[in-house]
Structure 1
Amino acid sequence: MSDRWTVADVMTAHVVTAGEDDSFKDVAALLSEHRVTAVPVVDPSGRVVGVVSVTDLLCKERFQMPWQSRRVRRDGRTPARAKAAATTAQELMTAPAVTIGPGASLPAAARSLSRHRVSRLVVVGDDGRPVGVVSQSDLLRAFLTPDEELAEQVLRRLVHFALWDDPFAVRVEVEDGVAVLTGEVERRSLAVLAARLARSVDGVVDVDDRLVYAVDDTALPPRDQPG
């Protein structure tokens, strides 16, 4: 496993889909049979065009009273009321679907979930066809990496990107996901760089920077005052 996780590493690869013309009952049966809360809707070519969730189906329950049904027919422009009158997946679905590529990073997936206020993303390939589903809980898998493995990943990152000559100048230990950096480097800017690189490794909860340095090269010299 690389120290940079992607959506492909954590997604559920088995995707249950519905067709645009699938009936309300067909979609309900899919959700129940596979114990999922939403399914992507695909067009005849297999490309994702929307998503139907349990919430979409429950609109039927919300507006099932006779006087509410009449309001559905009069004002189909309201999304919830329109879905209450829906009989097919195409009418039920929320479109366009919120999708992401399998090579996207976990932070990118988290930002997309937050921005669109959804609990899952449909993962699609370059052809627009679904290859997986990634949920909020899937993104937590990086934080389940054992501490010893995480320490190795942090050290690899430091050795690969850092600018100091001695690969053993910095030592890494990880406890409960917190990376502890010890050792000595020549310049303060390198210590700052090491902490930043360690924090960028997926699964690191925090960084305890205990590095010491010989020279503080981050302090700016005073500007010459005009005479």
Structure 2
Amino acid sequence: MLPCSLLALVGTVASSGPSLDPSAGPLCTNPPYQLPSSRHLEINGPMTTPRRTADKTMVRELMSVPVLTAAVTDSLWDAWQLLVISGLRHLAVVDSGGNCLGVLSDRTVLADMPRTFEHLGETTVGSAMERVPRLAIAPDKTAQEAAALMSLHMVDAVPVINDEDRLVGIVTSTDIVHWVGQ
């Protein structure tokens, strides 16, 4: 059920234009939804920001494994289907030798869709990867270093590569959020 004020907005947009008045909407029978005040939030204690600067959690402890991969020669359509079926947002892209070239995100595919939809089956993952920074992190780096790398390059995921240049995992923004929330 939508909050009352949203129902009013939806109910009036089609008829006379947008209105945030809850009584204006034909579907609105409840009082408008209100966010809790800070007084309500203090019942469970004051809100604090977790500090993890001294934490030595390693990337190997929070990375996601196994990692779904797509070949650089796969079609963007095949990569999209793999993302949708798996429910994941990132695929590690590998070359024919199994070396990781980067991460393909659902956002990258979606950004290409309006331009290449008719040719999605012909467009390769490699061509979409041209706009993606080639980043990686080692499993013995700290979670804080992974978060800083992701923040600096504004990406949602970084592949984890070991000393032999093999893909061993992936660190995602979800992994970082879980780590911060601990």
Whether TM-score is above 0.5 comes out as yes
Using a 3 Å threshold, how does the CA distance of structure 1 residues 26 and 6 change in structure 2: closer, same or farther?
same
Normalising by structure 1, report the TM-score: 0.49
CA displacement 1:110-156 (0-9 Å, x = unmatched): 110111111111111122221111122312444555xxxxxxxxxxx
C-alpha distance in structure 2 between counterparts of 1:111 and 1:23, whole Å? 32
Could you say which residue in structure 2 is the equivalent of 1:121? 158
Which amino acid is 1:114 matched to? S
Q: CA deviation at 1:55?
A: 2.1
Distance 1:36 1:84 in 2: 19
SS of 1:100's equivalent?
coil
Q: CA RMSD in A?
A: 2.6
Per-residue displacement from partner, 1:151-177 (whole Å, max 9, x unpaired)? xxxxxxxxxxxxxxxxxxxxxxxxxxx
Give the letter aligned to residue 109 of structure 1.
A
Q: CA deviation at 1:99?
A: 1.0
Q: Pick 1 or 2: higher relative contact order, CA cutoff 8 A, min separation 6.
A: 2
Change (3 A) 1:142 1:41: closer
Contact preservation (8 Å) 2:102, 2:158: no
Shift of the 134–53 alpha-carbon distance from structure 1 to 2, 3 Å rule, reads same
Q: Aligned partners of 1:26, 1:61: CA distance in 2, in Å?
A: 13
Local SS of the residue matching 2:147: helix
Residue 95 of structure 1: how far off its partner (Å):
4.4
TM-score normalised by the chain length of structure 2 = 0.61
Unaligned runs of 5+ in 1: 70-82, 146-227
2:124 matched residue in structure 1: 88
1:63-142 equivalences under 5 Å are 63=115, 87-93=123-129, 94-142=131-179
Partner of 2:56: 4
Tell me the CA shift for residue 7 of structure 1.
0.5
Long gaps (5+) in structure 2: 1-54
Closer, same or farther: CA 21–106 of 1 in aligned 2, 3 Å: same
Identity of aligned residues (%): 29
Contact 1:113–1:119 (Cα < 8 Å) also in 2? yes
More strand by share: 1
Number of residue pairs matched by the alignment:
127
Measured in 2, the distance between the counterparts of 1:44 and 1:32 equals: 24
Kept in 2: contact 1:6–1:103 (CA 8 A): yes
The 5 Å alignment of 1:1-227 reads: 4-63=56-115, 87-93=123-129, 94-143=131-180, 145=182
In structure 2, what is the Cα distance between the partners aligned to 1:96 and 1:86? 23
